[in-house]
């Protein structure tokens, strides 16, 4: 199960945002964004950030329209 922050970070990636842009939008540090994305990647069993986004979309955890 992904946390809200992990899903928010993946949703930012899905919208094409950089880690810096996600950090600014969520008002968290760049290191925290990287931590959330890494945790989400591991939980989803993804080898890459892109694969994590694809798996999250496929599982209905994030929406590309947001």
Check which CATH number belongs to the domain holding 46 and give it. Answer: 1.10.10.10
Q: Count Cβ atoms below 10 Å from residue 51 Cβ, excluding itself.
A: 13
Does 47 fall in a domain?
yes
Does 42 fall in a domain?
yes
Does 66 fall in a domain?
no
Does 63 fall in a domain?
no
Q: Which domain holds residue 20?
A: 4-58
Residues 6 or more apart from 51 whose CB is under 8 A from it?
41, 44
Q: Which residue has the higher pLDDT, 1 or 41?
A: 41
**Predicted local distance difference test score (pLDDT) of residue 54:** 96
Domain count along the chain: 1
Q: Are 48 and 37 in contact (CB under 8 A)?
A: no
pLDDT tens by residue, 2-45: 999 999 999 999 999 999 999 999 999 999 999 999 999 999 99
Global pTM?
0.93
Distance CA 23, CA 43 (A): 21
């Amino acid at each position: 199960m992904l946390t809200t922050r992990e899903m928010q970070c993946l949703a930012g990636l899905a919208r094409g945002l950089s880690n810096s842009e996600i950090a600014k939008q969520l008002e968290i540090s760049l290191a925290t964004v990287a931590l959330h994305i890494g945790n989400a990647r591991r939980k989803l069993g993804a080898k890459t950030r892109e694969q994590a986004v694809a798996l999250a979309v496929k599982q209905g955890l994030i929406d590309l329209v947001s």
